[in-house]
Structure 1
Amino acid sequence: MAIDVTVLRVFTDSDGNYGNPLGVVDASAAEPSDRQAIATELGYSETIFIDLPAAGEATARAHIFTPTTELPFAGHPTVGAAWWLKRQGTPVRTLQVPAGIVGVSYDDGPDGEFAVVRARSDWAPDFSIYDLASVDEVLAADPEDYTDDVKHYLWAWVDREAGTIRSRMFASVLGIPEDEATGAAAVRITDHLSRDLLITQGEGSQIRTWWDPEGWVKVAGRVVDDGVRQID
């Protein structure tokens, strides 16, 4: 039986451009043993399987897969899931993933509609973080030079005073030569720099973060629905 996969783009700019594709699947439609194969076939950097909240509940459970492995936490899938649940008519306050309980909120301000998640910085995987001298150096980087078994996050200041940076992320170890927008890496770099940030990653995706000295980071982004894809 065909499975419906909603395809979102998470962390778009204000015009709905760019963003990281995400597959969203109602978990009741896919056996746990089939989820890795589904994520591999879809080929997105992540696919999230969501157990819809019961009537009257404000939490949902979810599992996140890359093309090669399950992740305990990831940023763009949880932001996308939060947005999708609201569009389904079931907004939540928390999202339970293997790493822990992710806080969820929604911001419908003058800059557009944002889904916001709150996670601990130590839930995010380790990244090799490269503080480069300029944005030009970030943009000139070749993913083929970063193919060993670690995740690479390259960044440079656009405006230090304003807290804006330019970044790219390479993770061939996860089957992702280059990730367009990486919420978990945004959590890590925000904690690393100990300040709120506006991050432009990849081709032009935008991620907003807020730092909490107690080890929490909020991550926010815009989301666009690109329709439904069916797989057998």
Structure 2
Amino acid sequence: MRRYAFVLADVFTERAFGGNQLAVLPDARGLSDGEMQALAREFNFSETAFVLPPDDTAHTRRLRIFTPETELPFAGHPTVGAAAVLVAREEARERLLLEEGVGLVTVDVSGTFARLTVTSPYEAPDHYPSVPAVAAALSLAPEDIVETWYGGVGLRFCYVRVADRAAVDRAVLDRAAWRSGVVGGWSGSLYVFAGHLTDGGRLHARSFAAMLDGGEDPATGSACAGLVAALAQRGGCRAPSYTLRVDQGVAMGRPSDLEAVARTADGELASVSVGGHTVLVGEGTITLPDA
């Protein structure tokens, strides 16, 4: 029999049982792709992170991220949480270079706060989501929606800006309308938000993730990365940095606090960072049959 250590963490929160749940296997050597997927289903969190030796010895680790259904090339809370776990276990220094499907991700850790930085380009198509289809998927009136657009850094999202916090809280995913009117587009993941879009502004957000079959996600770092990148580019990347704070997961009883920063250079997006606190809430071992 093979035994693997795991750590349970709550990410983007300073309190246990808030934020986004994560299982981290700090040493996943010897696990097959199928076993990683099976373990992600067993933990049944939105994501499970598997830490492996790096392909390049100049880097800290390689990180693979699985939802209960599939592997992701990148995700915010598993990256932040896995880095926090490795530093807490004294298995890595306070700056980590993690190899992920989108390339190299830098994570700086100070105490319980970790901040990931990516240089992946912001991508967006030349078309926009249908407001009536998005409104129907969220059980909102079209008049509740201020604007929608597609975009992403590493992962794709459909961003939905609504009139106010009450509209964010009023949203209820209609899965039939979502599957027929949103899924199949450039992205089926809906990131709904309201608040002040100025530098330093605070937003209230909810996320209905396609990779979770429309299930709500209490903290979505990759969505915050794409959002702050989009807003920085909208401003022409004139300021050297653009910062947002985001509250998410409140309606789920798992309040999360995320900080996102876009940095620019010579009028272009240079990098995007997303950070927050991580609380370690448990650890143990899981036993698998010999391969």
- What TM-score do the two structures reach when normalised by structure 2? 0.71
Q: Match of 2:114, as an amino acid?
A: A
Whether 1:222 aligns to 2:277 is: yes
1:51 Cα offset (Å): 1.5
After superposition, what is the alpha-carbon deviation per residue over 1:60-112, rounded to whole angstroms, capped at 9, x for unaligned? 1110011111111111000011111101212243111111000121235xxxx
CA 206–104 in structure 1, closer or farther in 2 if over 3 Å, else same: same
Alignment of 1:51-90 (within 5 A): 51=52, 59-89=60-90, 90=92
Distance in 1 between residues matched to 2:23 and 2:214, nearest whole Å: 15
Q: 1 CA distance for matches of 2:244 and 2:205?
A: 12
What is the aligned partner in structure 1 of residue 230 from structure 2?
Answer: 192
Could you tell me which runs of 5 or more consecutive residues in structure 1 were left unpaired when the two chains were aligned: none
Moved more, 157-166 or 98-107: 157-166
Q: CA deviation at 1:172?
A: 4.2
1:117 is matched with 116
Identity %: 33
Q: Distance in 2 between matches of 1:103 and 1:30?
A: 25
Assess if the C-alpha contact under 8 Å between 1:45 and 1:176 holds in 2: no
Question: Is the CA contact (8 Å cut-off) linking 1:172 and 1:178 kept in structure 2?
Answer: no
1:1-232 equivalences in 2 (<5 Å): 1=1, 2-12=3-13, 14-16=14-16, 18-25=18-25, 26-28=27-29, 30-51=31-52, 59-89=60-90, 90-91=92-93, 92-108=95-111, 113-119=112-118, 120=120, 122=122, 123-144=153-174, 147-148=178-179, 149=183, 150-157=188-195, 160=198, 162-175=200-213, 177-194=215-232, 195-203=242-250, 204-213=255-264, 214-232=269-287
How far apart in 2 are the matches of 1:225 and 1:29? 25
Q: CA deviation at 1:43?
A: 1.0
Name the CA distance, whole Å, in 1 between partners of 2:199 and 2:98.
Answer: 33
How far, CA to CA, are the matches of 1:67 and 1:172 in structure 2? 12
Q: Is residue 6–residue 284 contact of structure 2 (8 Å, CA) maintained in 1?
A: yes
Give the partner amino acid of 2:12: F
Distance (whole Å) between structure 1 residues aligned to residue 275 and residue 66 of structure 2:
21
Shift of the 158–16 alpha-carbon distance from structure 1 to 2, 3 Å rule, reads: farther
Q: 1:121 to 1:170 in 2, by over 3 A?
A: farther
| TM-score in terms of structure 1 length | 0.87
Q: Which moved more, 1:20-29 or 1:72-81?
A: 20-29
Opposite residue 49 of structure 1, the aligned amino acid is F
